[in-house]
Amino acid sequence: MTNVAVVGSQWGDEGKGKIVDWLSERADIVVRFQGGHNAGHTLVIDGISYKLSLLPSGVVRKGKLAIIGNGVVIDPHALLAEIERLGEQGVKVTHENLRIADNATLILSLHRELDAIREDAASNSGTKIGTTRRGIGPAYEDKVGRRAIRVLDLANLETLPQKIDRILTHHNALRRGLDQPEIEFDTILQELTEVAERIVPFSEPVWRLLDKEKRKGSRILFEGAQGTMLDIDHGTYPFVTSSNTVAGQAAAGSGIGPGSVGYILGITKAYTTRVGEGPFPTEQDNEVGNFLGERGHEFGTVTGRKRRCGWFDATMVRQAVATNGITGIALTKLDVLDGLEEIKICTGYMLDGEKIDYLPASQGRQARVEPIYETLEGWKDTTVGARTWNELPAQAVKYVRHVEELIGAPVALLSTSPERDDTILVHDPFQD
């Protein structure tokens, strides 16, 4: 029996929600290991849509344990609001089905405010990153700066004042430099005390729980957010998120040894999308891009922002396969390509007259790369709802096989609609 880590292999929005939900039926525990409520998963179960941001996808399934790991930054008010929304849909979230790492960092209102202040200033100067303004980055900064307030601090209100003093010393000095009013101590104290009683019951050292469950032989599914090219180290810096999104973070962000993660599944869209600013070599700001966006309903789950769309970038995904150690991929949204006369795949880049086979780390060099395309014949017949290879048009099968060859990883699952059962299973990642 093996444990599975799910990561995005592009810029996020690859359709991880459906695949994680499909896999969670086979798992005992689902662990979210990085990011914050800037990520979003939409699950469609029996015709009902569930929109999740912080909660692991397994929380909507009875008998499964959902865990928010220490690598996640948690806005307690956003978390409680999400729990309430699920409750209105008939999903009850209690300590029985949700645990939160006691050493996870909290997002405060001051983080959200700072995020917005910086984005507004960057918009005026032309250096906008395109954050969701939810305070994710500033919270991670405080974590690394060793001044963060963590979940476990809510259980000890006597020591909370000195921790608030410490974080405000930093933030108020920063706000003075930005010509912003200082934050009152009582504002943060009230903000935390009003959620403490509701958050603390979910809290515990989840690394101990995971170690115990691993020894019992429980199947663990590690659920990533965003995508590899948004990784703070390996992505298109500085247009990235504030955490490590690669598979290696599954261990560090949940408190379990790296050897406990057996199969790494890379979720890969059959074309490419990106939200926000930053380089996008295969972007199609034309009729093709509009077609992909409309057919694929490419709008952000959390923000509603329209996604930029383009052809499949095999060079970038091959890089993600290497940096994650991807065992196999789940290829999603193949049905969006139905009806196209021809389909292009990026197989490399030209940079200053030289052919290269990777996306360079330099911002300047990323902006100058030009895609090298192969053109494949499209297909007229629909792939929507296909559940076996025999139901796919021959050209669609050819496309999938060529993608496998170009990225150096096999297809384990193939998704042909948002419905969870419209999935072709090639290899079950949970099998030994």
Which residues have a catalytic role annotated? Answer: 13, 41
Which residue shows structure tokens 């509701």? Answer: 198
CB-based contact 210:218 (threshold 8 Å): no
Rounded to 10 degrees, the C-alpha dihedral 251/254/257/263 comes to -50
